Structure 1
Amino acid sequence: MFAVLRLALLGGALLLTGCAQNPADLPLTREQAVAPPALQYLGVGGYLLRWQGEAIVMAPSFSNPATLGQPPLMVEADTAKIDELMPEAADVSMLLVGHAHYDHLLDVPHVLNKHTPKAKVYGSKTTGHILAAAVKRERIVDVESHMAVGTSAGQWFYSPEKRVRIMAIKSEHAPHFMGIKLLTGELNEDLTSLPKSVWGWPEGQTLAFLIDLLDEQGEVRYRIHYQDAASTAPLGLPPFLAGDVKPVDVAILCVGAWDQVPAYPQVLLKRLQPRLAVLGHWEDFFGNDPRQPQGLRLQDIQAMVRITRENLPEGGELKLPVPFAQLALPAPQ
C-alpha cells in the first residue's frame, strides 16, 4: 500500500513540474491598511481575523518546503521563516485546521507554542493525533466528532469571550490531478514525534467551517463560510439551522484543484449567496516567497475568478488577495 502511495505521489510530483504562473494578469488585491473588522490573508489556506477584542487564525502555513522547486518528499517546519512572517497573534484564542496535509498543518505546532499561546486548535481526529506529538492535549479539540453532516447541524464551539463561535462541517478534499487524490487516510493514535515525510501527514476527515462573529448580546453580526479544500456538493455545504436565517456574508474558497470536482464553486455559491467571495490557496507554495507570490502551476486561476463572479449575487464582490493583504468585511446587515 505504501509503495503504491509513494508511486502516486512521485507521479504527481512529475506532473506538477514546471514553472509557477506569472500573476501579472490576475485581479490581485493588495491592501495593507484596512479599518477593522478585516480579514488578513496569510497565504496558502491561512487567514487571521480580529473581532471585538478576540482573534482567530486559520491554518497558517509559511515554511512551504520544496525539493529543487518541486513538491517535497521530506518536510520540516522552518521556524525562522515562521517567526519572520507570522503576524502578531498573542490575542488568538481559536486556530482552525480543515485537514491534516503538511501544507496546512506543518507550521501549526510552532505557531501554537510560540505565537498563539492562548489558543486551542480545532480540527479532525487525525489533526489531533499529529499535533499531540508537539502540543499539549488539552489544547486540541476534536470537532470531527461534533461536525454537521448533510442537513443536520453540528455543535457550536465558542471562544473564551463568546464573541466568536465555529461549527465544523463534513467536507472533502478534491483530487490533486486527473482524479487522483494523494496522501489520503487517517491516524487512529497519537504520534510521539512529528512526521518527517509527506506520507506522515494524511488528510484525515476534511472539514469546512461556519464562523460567526457575535455582538455583546450574542447576536450574529457576520457569518463566514471557510474552506481550505475544494469539495463536491453536498459535502461542505452548511447545514440547516433551525430558526436561524442569518445569511453568509463571506465565503472563503479554495483555488487549488478547484477544477477536479464537479460544479465547484457554483453549487456552493448558489447556496451561500455571499456578499464577498475570497479566493485563497491560489499561489504556488513549493519553496516560494509569499512576498513575491506566483500562481499555482497547472491551475486555470482566471477561469476560477470568472466562474466565481458569474455565480455571485447582485452586488457581490470578489477578492483575490496576495499574502498579508487585508480585506474589509462588508458592512453589517
Structure 2
Amino acid sequence: MLRGMLLSLLIALAGCAQNPAGLPLWQERQVAPPSLQYLGVGGYLLRWQDEALLFAPSFSNPATLGQPPLVVQADNAKIDELMPKADDVSMLLVGHAHYDHLMDVPRILEKHAPKAKVYGSKTMGHIMAAVLPRERIVDAERVMADGAKPGQWFYSPEKRIRAMPIKSMHAPHIFGIKFLGGSYDQDLTALPKSVWAWKEGQTLSWLVDLLDEQGRPVYRLHYQDSASTPPQGLPPQLDDTKAVDVAILCVGSWQQVPAYPDVLLKRLQPRLAILGHWEDFFGNDPRQPQGLRLQDIQGMVRTTRANLPADGELKLPVPFAQIALPAPR
C-alpha cells in the first residue's frame, strides 16, 4: 500500500496529462495494405497475406481521480467497443506483464481473437493460465535471443508471419525508480486485482518477419513496448542479412535509460520509425488522446529523427490510425 501511495503521489506531483497540440500526430484511418494499425499504449494490429498478428492491446485504462489506480480490472464493455475486428489473428505478442499491457488480453483472446495463441514471458504465462487453457499460452522466454545468440522463430499457421523474442528490459518509471517488478514461478488461479500483482516478468522485444510464398522475409519489424538500455533489446545479427524496415519504439520513460533510442536506431537504420505509448492512459479516452505526463515527447521526436537514415520516416500515430509499410526492397 505504501508503494502504491508513493507512486500515486509522484505522478500527482507531475500534474495533468499533456495537451497534444503541436505534436506531429499521424491520423490517417484509410491506408492501403500492407499497413499497421496503432491501437494505443503498446497495442498494434498487423495484417499480411490473409493472416494477422497483434501486439498486446490495452483499452481499459483504469484510474483513480485521474491518477494511477491501485486496484484494476478489465473493462469488457470498453474493450468490445474499441477493439477492431481480429478474428483472423493467430499470434498475440506480449512484451511484459504489467496491467497496462496484459490485463485486456484475456477478453481479446476470448471474444475477438479466438484462434490466437499468446506469446510472452514465463510470468505472462503464469498469469494467463488463470483464465486460458495452457495450449493457447507459449513460453517465449525460454527460447529468446540473448546478446549475439539468436532466438527461436515462432511461425503463424500459414507460415506468412514469424516472430522471434529478444531479451530486453523495462525502463525505470521515474527518478530512476522502477515499480511493479518481480515475477511468478507458478500458475495463478485468478487474475490479479492489485496493480502490484501484475508483475513485470522478463521483458521482451520482438523481431517480426512478413514472409513471401517461399518463406523469405519481405518486411522485418522490431518492436518494443518499453525503452531499454543497450544492449538489452537489440536484435542479434542474423545470417540472412535482411535489414529492419520498421522500428516500433516506446516514448514512455525514454529519458530514464541512457542512449535510447540512439543506439537502437543506429543498429537498425529503419526506413520507418513509429513512436507509440506516448499518450496518457490513466482514465483517458483513446479517441481523444492526451500526452503522457512527465514525458518530453517532442524530445523523443527530435532524437528519433536525428538517428534515422536520410530516407527514414517518422510517424507519431493517434490511436486507431493506420500506417502504410514502406515499399518492399
- What is the TM-score of this pair, normalised by structure 1? 0.97
Aligned to 1:71: 68
Aligned 1:197-236 pairs, distance under 5 A: 197-236=194-233
- Residue 273 (structure 2) pairs with residue 277 (structure 1): yes
Aligned to 1:171: 168
Measured in 2, the distance between the counterparts of 1:9 and 1:150 equals 34
**Equivalent residue letter for 2:271:** R
**Equivalent residue letter for 1:127:** M
Q: Which of 5, 9, 23 in structure 2 is aligned with 1:10?
A: 5
Measured in 1, the distance between the counterparts of 2:83 and 2:2 equals 34
Aligned to 1:158: 155
**Equivalent residue letter for 2:326:** P
Deviations 1:124-151 (A, max 9, x none): 0000000011111100000000000001
Partner SS for 1:16: helix
Structure 1 gaps of 5+ residues are: 1-5
Measured in 1, the distance between the counterparts of 2:36 and 2:298 equals 23
Q: Which of 234, 237, 242 in structure 1 is aligned with 2:234?
A: 237
Measured in 1, the distance between the counterparts of 2:247 and 2:32 equals 20
Deviations 1:236-281 (A, max 9, x none): 000121x210000000000000000001000000000000000000
Measured in 2, the distance between the counterparts of 1:25 and 1:176 equals 25
Partner SS for 2:206: strand
Q: CA RMSD in A?
A: 0.6
Sequence identity of aligned pairs in percent? Answer: 75
Measured in 1, the distance between the counterparts of 2:9 and 2:293 equals 12
Partner SS for 1:277: strand
Measured in 2, the distance between the counterparts of 1:9 and 1:232 equals 25
Measured in 1, the distance between the counterparts of 2:8 and 2:221 equals 34
Partner SS for 2:106: helix
1:12, 1:177 within 8 Å by CA — same for their partners in 2?
no
Aligned to 1:32: 29
Measured in 2, the distance between the counterparts of 1:7 and 1:34 equals 47
Deviation at 1:11, TM superposition (A): 1.6
Deviation at 1:8, TM superposition (A): 3.2
1:120, 1:140 within 8 Å by CA — same for their partners in 2?
yes
Aligned 1:1-333 pairs, distance under 5 A: 6-17=1-12, 18-241=15-238, 243-333=239-329
- What is the TM-score of this pair, normalised by structure 2? 0.99
Structure 1 range deviating more: 100-109 or 8-17: 8-17
Deviations 1:282-312 (A, max 9, x none): 0000000000000000100000000000000
**Equivalent residue letter for 2:213:** E
**Equivalent residue letter for 2:92:** L
Partner SS for 2:267: helix
Measured in 1, the distance between the counterparts of 2:81 and 2:95 equals 24
1:253, 1:278 within 8 Å by CA — same for their partners in 2?
yes
Q: Number of aligned residue pairs: give it.
A: 327
Partner SS for 2:292: coil
Runs of 4+ displaced beyond 4 Å: none
